Amino acid sequence: MSETNQPRRRGRGSIFFALLLVILGVIFLLSNTGVIEGDAWSLIWQFWPLLLIVIGLDSIYKREGLVAPTFMIGIGVIFLLANLGYLSVNVWRMVLTLWPILLIAIGFDILVGRRSIWAAIAGIILILIILAGSLWLFGVSASQGNLVQGEAIQQSLEGATRAEVKIDTGAGDIQIGATDLSEILIVGSVPARSNQRIESSYTVNNGVGNYLIRDSSSTFFFPGTNPGQMAWDLNLTDAIPLDLTLNLGAGNLDADLSKLDLDSLFINTAVGSTSVSLPAQDDLVVGTNGAIGQILVTIPEGVGVRVQAETALVSVQMPPGFVRQENVYQSPDYELATQQVDLTIKLAIGSVVVRNGP
């Protein structure tokens, strides 16, 4: 029999778009009937992990492996539970910490995924055990906080009546607050690891202090680094006005700046979550730039706010009563408020939440 007469084995077609349409239909049906709440973008952001689950199911259906698709489904379920509030984890920090499991899953698929069904099932069980165990260890390490003892830092004002402060690190978890210590510009702790070099400099010219602290060994984020083990805990003076710049490649930023006297604030992040509480003062200019993650900004009650949101695949949530015109959101009292904040937010993928606080 010639080769042309032999039947050809055809691979299974994709069911990705069919599954995606079914899931989108169910989500919007539940939204229309009031079972779940939110506008289109907030629903997309909340249920986006279903995309990972669909990709995994599609790969299994097309017989492209079992172990790696199972991992994809598992991580999608974890993200979905976190987004719905059933799992209390920081998903961005989890991604930065547990991503090597994907390499393990792909490796198992190459080794055993297509040799026998029993080997594939064993690989699936092993990946699920690794995923569950890593998630548990991640939760334990997160609850314990920083695992590496920090190095203390302190810088006095040296006569400065205002200051420009810049904090620059490639990866880590940064926590910033205020200190009322007399004549102290900044005090706190920075990571103390053998492979890190924390450098700082300070000069005072005409009463203006210029302070820079940076991790010179981590100018870019290396995926093998756990940002949870590189915690920066810093407190800035509330005695003089500050121009503050925060640069973070990957990790989480928690900045309670409500007690500081800020002239300007600029935050640049690549991947991770940013939470910042602003002070109540006149004519404050704030800019936040990010690639992937979550940005949460808390504005004091009674402060007029104008937000310019330059976003792509992003869910945007503003306080009730804000007026929107294209990509600009404005509080009702902005024009008449004695204290105003001009906020610019740039984010490619993720969520933006602006809320009122004390």
Answer yes or no: is pLDDT of 337 > 80: yes
pLDDT value, residue 218: 46
pLDDT confidence band for 225 (50 / 70 / 90): very low
In tens, the pLDDT along 1-11 reads 445 555 555 55
pLDDT value, residue 222: 44
Angle, vertex CA 172, rays to CA 169 and CA 178, nearest 5: 80
Answer yes or no: is pLDDT of 18 > 90: no
Answer yes or no: is pLDDT of 97 > 60: yes
Q: What is the mean pLDDT of the chain?
A: 80
Q: What is the mean pLDDT of residues 244-273?
A: 92
In terms of pLDDT, which residue wins out, 172 or 341? 341
Q: What is the mean pLDDT of residues 279-293?
A: 90
Give the least confident one: 17-31, 47-61, 142-156. 142-156
182: left (phi over 0), alpha (psi -120 to 50) or beta: beta
pLDDT value, residue 141: 45
pLDDT value, residue 89: 59
User: pTM of the entire structure?
Assistant: 0.69
